[in-house]
A and B are shown apart, each in its own frame.
Chain A
Amino acid sequence: MSALELQSVIAPDGSAAGHDPRLCAEGLLHCYRTMLLVRAFDDVALKLQRSGRIGFSIPNKGVEACQVGAASALETTDWVFPSYRDFGVALYHGVTPTEMMHNMFGNDRDSARGRQMPVHFSFDKPIRFVSISSPLGTQIPQAVGAAYAMKLRGEKHVALVSFGDGSTSTLGFHSGMNFAGVWKAPVVFLCQNNGYAISCPVEEQTASESFAIKAKAYGMPGVRVDGNDLLAMRQATAQAVARARRGDGPTLIEAVTFRMGGHSTSDDPTRYVPKELVESWAKKDPVARFERYLASRQLWTKEQGEALYAAAVEQVNAAVREAEATPPPKLESIFTDIYASVPAHLRRQGQAAFELAARKGDAGAGAGKFPL
């Protein structure tokens, strides 16, 4: 099979059509539970946003297998440079829904202390899930730099950088791919081709016959993978990771998938996605497909699946209760973490803000001094 043919393992009926890695039951169930957790987090976040309890969310429905399959090929010593539609990678490696929910509410226990929009996570353990920004493609050369550091120190780690089809048009994609090719950096480029960049379909994004073929011009292999097939995603990522660890350089993986929801909660995809397209992809749902595979391995029944999903929803709801009860960040947090120490001009601006808040009797103002 050519690298640019769509690689898959699980046939639509759930049987293993490609090479079945015969993963252990616990490994498979961890992948499955993580996909359910992504879906539960999405569902709960959407309801929170629609009821006005949080301001924003980014749905992941349809792309869970890309995230979780890729995550399952990484070690916690590897680095992840994610996009804003990748949190399944963090969940797979043990970041908790509670830590994530603190970010969704922008509260005092959010790692970024409420400074970023929801879904812009930052975690440094159990895996390096590097702080997400909104500008697209910027994380791509950063991942290459982090990988250069690994190579320089002789570590066998890799950096996985994830981005969407739209990001392949950015400056960062070109410079990141180019630098990685020249440096033979231990990077895995994961392009999740989910059909649309907000409302712009892929055929308006590129005239290239695929995204994977772009790898050729940068001197690295490119593979096209069925992104709704968890085992295919795992296999392709594992091969790319192994290649990077051997010192043979980067790989571009194009995961062909579909975003079943809007770009964000501020988006209405019915305005631009044909209904038939959604219906055709609904039949390829990555979670249902993996369930059929698990059933073929006697690891899944409908009742077990429903019970696991209910448990995932309860886990997320518990996270909501905790996050919603956590106070907002203190006023000081506006002025800290800009530099390693607070410079004089920010100290003065902060003091003025605290004094004003004290005069106006603002109960949320915080302690009114820098925690230094």
Chain B
Amino acid sequence: MATLTMVQAVNDALKVAMRRDKGVLVFGEDVGPKGGVFLATEGLTKEFGKQRCFDTPLSEDGIVGTAIGMALNGLKPVAEIQFQDFIFPAFDQIVSEAAKFRYRSGGQYTVPMVIRTPYGGGIRGGLYHSQSGEAYFCHTPGLKVVIPSTPEDAKGLLLASIEDPDPVIFMEPKALYRTTKSEVPEGYYTTPLSTLRTARTGKDVTVFCYGAMVPVCLKAAEQAAEKGIDCLVVDLRTLLPLDEEGVLEAARQTGRVVIVHEAPRFCGFGGEISAMIAENIIEYMEAPVARVTGFDTPFPNTLEHHYMPDARRVLDAIEHVHGY
């Protein structure tokens, strides 16, 4: 085991995958000799050559469109979109093409590829280096949407995504790239998609979260524990397809639920969790569901710490549903 940051774990996963399978290719903007703007692809061109890890012209549509063609023709592309905020020129390729090839060809043509993209705030990136766009992709049947919150999961989930036969949007919480460190197993292993991780056990309130919100919620849970409130913190890890049974089970355990995400609230992923609970297990609920989310505004720069949910806001919601 080595102690790695999340970005080092991503880098390790890419190296392991590329050593294991010659068909795995990594490309995008500045991912070659520079090693990516966050250094997630550092050393790949040197080790695997520029046929397998290379810079592309500056076009997200081209990156994803060509990745689809490679995947159709037997390769395993792992394309990087430098910031999730820049993915929208490729939205047509992702939503109309990658997500639908299997369906529209009756399985004749499939797109086993991964799009890695850093998302979320916390780096003073303003409107266009901070957004959390997971809901756009979760609304698209045919895609998988995966968001790790620990270095160990970042590696295991990325390797599972590369192995997966369907297109995966792999969103990396850039705020955690260097702020989290953990033991990461060496070599090849996968963490199964569509499974939850219990980040903290508890019996009073269930907190659902993912990505960069997981450490925030754990901190809030510690503060809640000091006040005698015992929180179960669930890291969703894969948003689509979601482990719905696991979510309902975790909600039933406490009957009190807080859902936390950075993305705007309206039509956000928290709304889906809330609706699932209302539709399936309302009789187990002791309190209305509470959501702690980004505001329904663009992402601000100077005041980003007010926009992003922090432990203070999460704790407030925990206390609210606990005292209901």
Contact = CB atoms under 8 A, between A and B. Distances in A.
Interface of A: 79, 81, 110-113, 115-116, 120, 122-124, 130-131, 133, 135, 138, 140-150, 152-153, 159, 171-172, 174-176, 178-179, 182, 337-340, 343-346
Nearest to B52: A152
Contact of A122 (B57, B69, B109): B109
Contacts of B110: 340
Nearest to B55: A182
Which of A112, A172, A175 has the most C-beta atoms of chain B within 10 angstroms of its own C-beta? Answer: A175
Interface stretch (B97-105, B221-229, B263-271, B299-307): B97-105
Contact of A179 (B66, B97, B241): B66
B85 interface: no
A339 B142 contact: yes
A369 B75 CA distance: 33
Nearest to A179: B62
Interface of B: 25, 51, 56-57, 59, 61-62, 64-75, 77, 89, 92-93, 96-97, 100-110, 141-142, 144, 164-166, 194, 241-245
B93 to A, nearest CB: 6
A132 B53 CA distance: 30
Contacts, number: 151
Given A142-B69, A175-B57, A175-B62, A112 B106 contact: yes
- A-B pairs with lowest CB-CB distance, top 8: A145-B69, A141-B65, A175-B62, A145-B66, A343-B241, A131-B105, A142-B69, A122-B105
A193 B311 CA distance: 60
A153 B23 CA distance: 9
Given A142-B69, A149-B73, A172-B61, A179 B102 contact: no
B244 to A, nearest CB: 6
B65 A172 contact: yes
Contact of A176 (B56, B62, B77, B106): B62
Contacts of B100: 133
A115 B103 contact: yes
A152 B23 CA distance: 9
Contacts of A144: 62, 65-66, 69
Contacts of B93: 138, 141-142, 172
Contacts of B243: 344
B96 A133 contact: yes
Contact of B194 (A79, A133, A172, A343): A343
B59 to A, nearest CB: 4
Contacts of B144: 339
Nearest to B54: A183
A146 B104 contact: no
Given A79-B73, A141-B62, A179-B57, A338 B102 contact: yes
Contacts of B106: 110-113, 115, 122, 337
